[in-house]
Structure 1
């Protein structure tokens, strides 16, 4: 072997050695990062924070409601029920809204006003019979108050707290940024409370968020709500219910797999926040056939250049990234970070 061949051979060995060392060095740091992520996740799951444990199952709901609690609540609030019964002097003022579900009327008695929602009773497990069982157990500043209900034949009438500003969707165009952020913060507070009761709403959208004259947000319409904590244990849901443009990908695919309840509401909160800030939806549906949603999954930087997204700063995009995480398990971890801030 000539001196030239020996030199080339030695140089090749050096290059290969440097390349191998570089690969080992990168592998070491990759493994180190993996262990660090595992450590962080473990710390999240064992946190002793006073916040609900959104990463767990049994510990998710701090004070779960039950299928029988509403009976005792009705007895305790018997005087309230009598006071708000339709037959006790209320007068219909006007129609507040109507649709396929039925009608909502404004009722008045002296200076007191309430909203009366009349709907067809559904004899199914997830119909309006469950709405009254679930809604009567809610007691929070950001959840619409249900005073009582009456049923005649196949019609159920709910006597509810009245919100003079109507729903957020009706004045979304004129909504100022400070009010949008305030409404969103109140929405998070209300959703956190609902989940702490072991209940998932499943139809959060601007049309179901009412606003009082003092700009207090009230979550309404529990017609599609359900328990995700039963007898202290988490159950998975299967029904494809809600409004499609606010459904997460796992609900759209629910015809072939079960899904967790809380991440469904978290996704809807993300869509609502985007709409509050930009007056539009980020995509039509969370399906890879949708061009915008596909960009969200595969090329977010490209999506950030489009109308709506480019109006948001980095902090707001980060918030949306946590709430609109396609993986529902990671979405729950993101929710904990949102609650801390």
Structure 2
């Protein structure tokens, strides 16, 4: 563990929080195996105008907590300028022989919501939420444009030389960064990148501390390559010496915008659910837990491929050469999607936090509403759910789940939204469930039986815009 400890010590959270005390008890749950090849209703989801470019645009309430000891990023090639700033404490690469181990989007007819009219005024809306931040190989290649992979440190060219000119107007804003769209012309071919411009260094932090916080997220995301993961391309400085993370641009919008727009068919909803499961299965196979899964952090490309992004709250619960699953600490994520055990202030299994969030996302996909404001007993809707789960006379699923369709999904969603984390399903169980196995994702079909409406609409708009520009 000396190698892991020294590596962990060299990285900090990308958020302004500080380190937490070292070490935590290992999980009693088994490690997640590599991903399988097969691959009381509540608050409504109205609110902000959807962000059609697929990047979060609003930053409500956040909570910050220390990063767990084992939240270090995976080893990766860091730019020379970053290594210089980090000095002797820059992360070391493991030995070559080291073994890898594995609240609203309203319904289409606002007058026909699933909730009683009286409940609409009393329950929270699903609006875009900013996140609470705590201080291997893939079975599928990423399908990012051009197959770009992380190339940090490979060039001393400026941001504009490598990835084109960034638009002045931001396409997304967060607590610690601004995202802009960059256009790179290669002869007659235009490539688009999403460029995350990080905040400036604070007066009370050294350059070394600042760079460590920036590289924590990059060191995790840049090692991830999968069709359902946003591809991180580079970490560079722009002409103003501001640090920027370059990512593939997901032009199909985010899942929040798709939910709010409505018109999602059952096949589209199920496809989204399984693509999320497949992406999270890959993350867990790499020892990474996301800890901030929500519709705003899940994006579409123009082909309808769903991709998980924003790894500012992610944690490495198992390093590549380890078999032990380390427990995590810290409250992070967005309240409606945070698992109940995270509010207890005790170590928790970060894998199960992801499973809980996916269950909440499926509820949102189906009802276009949230099941509760927050998974604490102070919330009447969550309290009613917990009581129903604990009732021995309850033969069917609790009412919150018993209205979901298809009927075959209910046992699995009940296992995913199990208040007791010790009884909650792991990702392999979710993928091996009979209902999940029957779902065929759009990219697995030569001729898909459904389309992702919002992504398809944005793709057509982009094509029409490109055609107009060529004619002018």
Interval of TM-score (by shorter of Structure 1 and Structure 2) = 0.7 to 0.9
Partner secondary structure for residue 419 of structure 2: coil
Evaluate the alpha carbon distance shift between residue 315 and residue 124 of structure 1 in structure 2; reply closer, same or farther with a 3 A threshold. Answer: farther
Kept in 1, the 8 Å contact 2:74–2:220? The answer is no
For residues 154 and 268 of structure 1, the distance between their equivalents in structure 2, rounded to whole angstroms, comes to 37
Larger Rg: 1
Q: Does 1:60 align with 2:152?
A: no
Determine the C-alpha separation between the residues in 2 that align with 1:126 and 1:314. 48
> Is the aligned partner of 1:164 residue 2:251?
yes
**Structure 1 alignment gaps of length 5 or more:** 1-53
Q: Could you tell me which residue of structure 2 aligns to residue 259 of structure 1?
A: 348
- Whole-Å Cα distance in 2 between the matches of residues 72 and 102 of structure 1? 20
Q: Is the 8 A contact 2:79 2:236 kept in 1?
A: no
In structure 2, the CA distance between the partners of 1:162 and 1:283, relative to structure 1 (3 Å rule), is same
Match of 2:444 in 1: none
TM-score by length of 2: 0.54
Corresponding residue number in structure 1 for 2:295: 206
> What is the aligned partner in structure 1 of residue 334 from structure 2?
243
Q: Which SS does the other structure have where 1:293 is aligned?
A: helix
Kindly indicate whether residue 217 of structure 2 is the aligned counterpart of residue 131 of structure 1. yes
Matched residue of 1:148: which SS? strand
Query: What residue ranges of structure 2 are gaps of 5+ in the alignment?
Result: 1-26, 36-70, 81-92, 94-148, 202-208, 438-472
What are the equivalent positions in structure 2 for 1:183-194 lying under 5 Å apart? 183-194=272-283
CA distance in structure 2 between the partners assigned to 1:126 and 1:185 by the alignment:
35
Q: 2:410 — aligned with what?
A: 317
CA deviations 1:47-106 (Å, max 9, x no partner) are xxxxxxx9844x43659x985631289999549954996231602234211232321111
Q: 2:428 aligned with 1:336, yes or no?
A: yes
**1:40 counterpart residue number:** none
Q: Secondary structure at the match of 2:246?
A: strand
Of the two structures, which has the highest relative contact order with CA contacts closer than 8 Å and spacing of 6 or more? Answer: 2
Secondary structure of 1:258's aligned partner: coil
Q: Deviations over 1:167-221 (max 9, x none)?
A: 1111213133322211111110000000000011110100000101111011000
Match of 1:147 among 224, 230, 233: 233
Q: Distance in 2 between matches of 1:209 and 1:106?
A: 18
User: Which residue does the alignment assign to 2:77?
Assistant: 71
Match of 1:91 in 2: 165
**Aligned Cα root-mean-square deviation (Å):** 3.4
Q: Give the TM-score normalised by structure 1.
A: 0.73
Q: How does 1:165-180 map to 2 (within 5 A)?
A: 165-173=252-260, 174=262, 175-180=264-269
Partners of 2:248 and 2:75 lie apart in 1 by: 21
2:371 match: 282
1:14 aligns to what? none
Supply the distance in 1 between the matched residues of 2:157 and 2:251 (Cα, whole angstroms).
18
Q: 1:102 to 1:214 in 2, by over 3 A?
A: same
Q: Secondary structure at the match of 1:106?
A: strand
Q: More strand per residue: 1 or 2?
A: 1
Structure 1 residues 60 and 124: alpha-carbon distance in aligned structure 2, compared to 1, 3 A threshold: farther
1: distance between equivalents of 2:348 and 2:211?
A: 18
Aligned to 2:305: 216
- Would the aligned equivalents of 2:251 and 2:302 in 1 still touch at CA under 8 Å? yes
CA distance in 2 between partners of 1:79 and 1:130 (Å): 14
1:294 aligns with 2:383: yes
User: Number of residue pairs matched?
Assistant: 282
Distance 2:160 2:297 in 1: 27
Bigger drift between 283-292 and 137-146 goes to 283-292
The more displaced of 309-318 and 198-207 is 309-318
Question: 319-328 vs 78-87, which deviates more?
Answer: 78-87
SS of 2:310's equivalent in the other structure is: coil
